[in-house]
Chain A
Amino acid sequence: MRAASGNIRTADGIKPTAADDAAPAGHADNGQPNAGRTNGDCADEDRASAWADFEAFVKDVEPRLSRALAAAYGFEDGRDATAEALAYAFEHWDRLQHIANLPGYLFRVGQSRSRRRRQPVVFAVPESTDHPFEPGLPAALGSLTQRQRLAVVLVYGYGYTLREVAELTGTRPTTVQNHLARGLARLRARMGVSDDS
């Protein structure tokens, strides 16, 4: 359940003082009688520190992950996949926080959570009056293969380097380059444009 203020630490007892409210009276986190505050205080500091680390990690990684999984699966399923990947990180934070390429690892988690979905990739956005893109662009993007779409959206649309995308998707930069070239050619052909200008 979402915290009304958006600060989960206060609402769900992650904040050090709130954690004590949920524990059995007279017991610290280690289950021993609460002879002093030392052990509990240390544990609370650890938890606050871990939460701060996780929060900083999400702030840093979530945009990349969201964009990649949205490119792969469409906005709605991509959002689900991102939420599930980050939830996996949250629940296994102790173990995962030391992985070298954690964004790439979580991208794979998001992919594995989305494998059961065999639906068309949909890029539906709320209607607007300013028409900032060609009406056929969402369908044209949806017609690309998943790898082509990832390359086109991340490298071409967002300006990521080939190496960044390769690390995220677990492929080689040259592979990303190939998918980018083919994807762009197919996208332009589908939209009936010869170049960007």
Chain B
Amino acid sequence: MTADLKDQIHILMERGINRVSAADVAAQSPAASAFPARYLRPALRSRRAVTIAAVATAACAVALVAAELGAGASPARPGPARAPVVLTAAMLRQVTSASRLALAHAGRAVVNSRETLGGVLQQTGSDNITFDGRNWNDSFTVVTPPEAGQPASRESAINRVAGGQAYDYFVAADGLAWYHETGPDAVANLAIPDPRVLLRELAPAARFAKGGTSVLDGVRVTRLTATNTSGLPTLNSPDIWPAGTIRALTIWVDGRGVVRQVMVTGRQEVKVVGFPGNPGAQQRLRQFMAAVRNLEKKDHLRPALAMERVKFTVLGRELRRHHLEIVRSEASVTTMTIRFTSIGQPQVIKAPAHAIKVYGRG
């Protein structure tokens, strides 16, 4: 590493900046065929439009998407008065199909999530997922900031499925170790999130508009943003995504039409419990939160899934026991970024050599 700060700034900028050439600019402009502007002829524009439409309707979606999203080919669509380029249904089907095929067997995914409640950060999470056929590995960390007198917490664990068997690695009463879950539903209960389910959200009704290009992991990608999120289907996959309405969805697609990154933001109204006018409220709230956290640790599940379980199985009982009441409704906003890497490359996921056999869970 160079010690000089000015050199470091120079290197950082030079590594990050993506150049724009005159050819890039002209290639994206509808005025390209009539440059400079005094040579603009309406007939020429319409002929180009007809040609493009004919190509699109000739079921050449693959070629068109490849050309539109081609590696290094597409800077931001320029022009002040121009509407953004919206992908046709055929183009989007091509993206979905190419991504599904590319990610069908093996690869890696890094999932970063951030959850706020009423604008206050509740927790951040990071999942490093590896998959190869039916074998999965999810190494995750959840960080909870300090709140209401409780210290901040950071918990990490690994969930793994190898050879049809379930393993997890976490801190239990007897220390940090690998455990081999031998119960009949152990694999089903392991709750490994599958970020590929988010690809189901790529519905044409969302009207994905083409944005600029950038480089992800050395690959030139094009940004596509959903301009009509009400056109997105409801996503029901609590392992990867808490229930709620998707408010923003952006994907980054490479030149082959394969999704390399997804950023999604969802929002839901949640009920906040409290003790209105009840003496000793703070103490009982702490007791309640401790009970919830114990349940999470006991089941060593991902917090999102654990919270769902808490909500449905414990909350009612705790409400009665501690006289908690739902005092208000607040917006819970979750933002999640998923980056796919090593797409299609075989991953080695083996059963841990030394795992303590346990039957059932908890």
Residues of A whose CB lies within 8 Å of any CB of B are 1-3, 6-8, 11-14, 19, 22-24, 29, 31, 43, 47, 50-51, 54-55, 57-59, 62-63, 66-67, 70-71, 75-80, 82-84, 86-95, 113, 123-126, 128, 130-134, 137-138, 141, 152-153, 156-158, 187-188, 191, 193, 196-197
Chain B positions within 8 Å of A, measured between CB atoms, are 1-6, 8-13, 15-29, 31-33, 35-39, 41, 43-44, 47-48, 67-68, 70, 72-76, 78-80, 211-218, 223
> Are the CB atoms of A70 and B17 closer together than 8 Å?
yes
Contact of A14 among B4, B18, B33, B214 (CB under 8 A): B33
Question: A196: which of B5, B12, B20, B78 is its contact (CB, 8 Å)?
Answer: B5
User: What chain A residues lie within 8 Å of B78 (beta carbons)?
Assistant: 83-84, 86-88, 90-91
Question: Which secondary structure characterizes the binding site on chain A?
Answer: helix
Return chain B residues, CB-CB under 8 Å to A43: 39
Distance to closest chain A CB from B65 (angstroms): 11
Determine how close the nearest CB of chain A comes to the CB of B224; give it in whole angstroms. 14
Contact indicator A67/B17 (Cβ below 8 Å): yes
In the bound complex, do residue A47 and residue B1 qualify as a contact, i.e. CB atoms below 8 Å apart? no
- In the complex, how many angstroms separate the beta carbon of B120 from the nearest chain A beta carbon? 18
CB distance from B311 to the nearest CB of A (A): 32
Nearest CB on A from B262, distance (A): 16
Q: Which residue of A lies closest to B47 (CB)?
A: A22
**CA A31 – CA B18 in complex, angstroms?**
41
- Assess whether A83 is in contact with B44, with CB atoms less than 8 Å apart: no
23 pairs across A/B with beta carbons < 8 Å? A2-B70, A2-B74, A22-B33, A22-B48, A58-B22, A67-B17, A70-B17, A76-B223, A79-B20, A79-B213, A83-B78, A84-B76, A84-B78, A87-B75, A87-B76, A90-B32, A91-B31, A92-B37, A128-B15, A133-B8, A134-B8, A141-B12, A152-B9
Task: From the candidates B8, B27, B32, B223, name the one contacting A132 in the complex (CB within 8 A).
Answer: B8
Q: Which residues of B contact A83 (CB under 8 A)?
A: 20, 24-25, 28, 75-76, 78, 212
**With contacts A47-B39, A83-B75 known, is A132 near B11, CB below 8 A?**
yes
A47-B39, A88-B79 as given contacts; A14 in contact with B32, CB under 8 Å: yes
- Contact (Cβ within 8 A) A13 B33: yes
- Report B11 CB to chain A, min CB distance, Å: 5
Q: When the two chains form their complex, are residues A14 and B35 in contact, meaning their CB atoms are under 8 A apart?
A: yes
Q: Which B residues touch A51, using CB under 8 A?
A: 26, 35
In the complex, the answer to whether A196 meets B6 with C-beta atoms within 8 Å is yes
Q: Which residue in A1, A50, A63, A123 is a CB contact (below 8 Å) of B12?
A: A123
Q: How far is the CA of A137 from the CA of B4 in the complex (A)?
A: 12
Closest to B9 in A: A157
**C-alpha spacing A77/B76, complex, angstroms:** 10
Complex: how many Å from CA A58 to CA B273?
60
Tell me which residues across on chain A come within 8 A of B2, comparing CB atoms: 132-133
Docked-complex contact A1 and B17, CB < 8 angstroms:
no
Q: In the bound complex, how far is the Cα of B28 from the Cα of A125, in angstroms? A: 25
B20 contacts A66, C-beta separation under 8 Å: yes
Known: A58-B21, A67-B17, A83-B25. 5 other contacts (CB 8 A): A2-B23, A8-B23, A80-B211, A132-B8, A133-B9
Return B360 CB to nearest CB of chain A, in Å. Answer: 41
Chain A residues closer than 8 Å to B216, beta-carbon distance: 126
Of B11, B35, B214, which one neighbours A93 at CB under 8 angstroms? B35
Complex Cα spacing A122 to B5, Å: 19
**Least CB distance, A159 to chain B, in whole angstroms:** 8
Q: Do the beta carbons of B1 and A134 come within 8 Å of each other?
A: yes
Structural contact, A124 and B16, CB atoms closer than 8 A = yes
* Residues in chain B near residue A128, CB distance under 8 A: 15
In the complex, the answer to whether B212 meets A79 with C-beta atoms within 8 Å is yes
Q: How far is the CA of A147 from the CA of B74 in the complex (A)?
A: 29
Contacts A47-B36, A156-B9 known; A3 to B20 CB distance under 8 Å? no
